[in-house]
Amino acid sequence: PCSLFLNKEFVVLQYEKEDYNMLKGIPKILSPELLKVLAEMGHSDRLVISDGNFPAESMGKNAIVVRCDGHGVPELLEAILQVFPLDTYVEHPMNLMEVMPGDNVETPIWETYKEIVRKYDKRGDAAVGTIERFKFYDETRDAYAIIATGESALYANVMLQKGVVTD
C-alpha cells in the first residue's frame, strides 16, 4: 500500500491512491510532499510533469524533484488542476514538448490533456501550446519543480505555469 524512497534530503513515505488521506476535497494521488510544493509555488512559477523517459534528475538540479513513479501524467494533471490555477496572463499556461522532426511518433495523450484542461480552464484548448524539445529542456531548468512519473507515452511532458489563486 505504500512505498519508501529517498528524495535528496530525506526519506518520503508515499501511499498508494487506494489509501485515504486526512483531508477533504484533496485528490488522494497528491502526496503531502507534492501538496507542499504546489502551495509554495507563486504566480508565474512553472511546474513540469514529466514522462518516464524525461531526465528529471539532471534537469532538476535547481528545482524540487518529486517522484511519482507508478503514476501517469493524465491522472496527476487531473488532480493538480483541481487545486492549481493556470496563469491567465500568458497565452499558453500549459505547454507540451513538440515532437522532433523525423520522429515518427503519434501523441494521442495530448488529446487527453486537452480534455482535462477543458474541465479546469475556460480557455480550453487555447490554453495549450507547444515548445520545441530543446527549448522545453532549457525552460525546465528554470522550473520551480519537476514531477517525475512512470508515464510510458512518448512526448508526454507537460509544463504548467501557475496563476493567481482567487478563491
Indicate which residues carry an active-site annotation: 43, 87, 137
List Cα–Cα distances, 58 to 64, 69, 80, in angstroms.
Answer: 11, 17, 23
Q: Which amino acid is at 149?
A: T
What is the phi-psi region of residue 93: left when phi exceeds 0, alpha when psi lies from -120 to 50, beta otherwise?
alpha
Residues 6+ apart with CB under 8 A from 50: 56, 73, 146, 147, 148, 149, 151, 157
Q: Quick one: cell of 6? A: 529517498
51 and 130 Cβ atoms separated by less than 8 Å: no
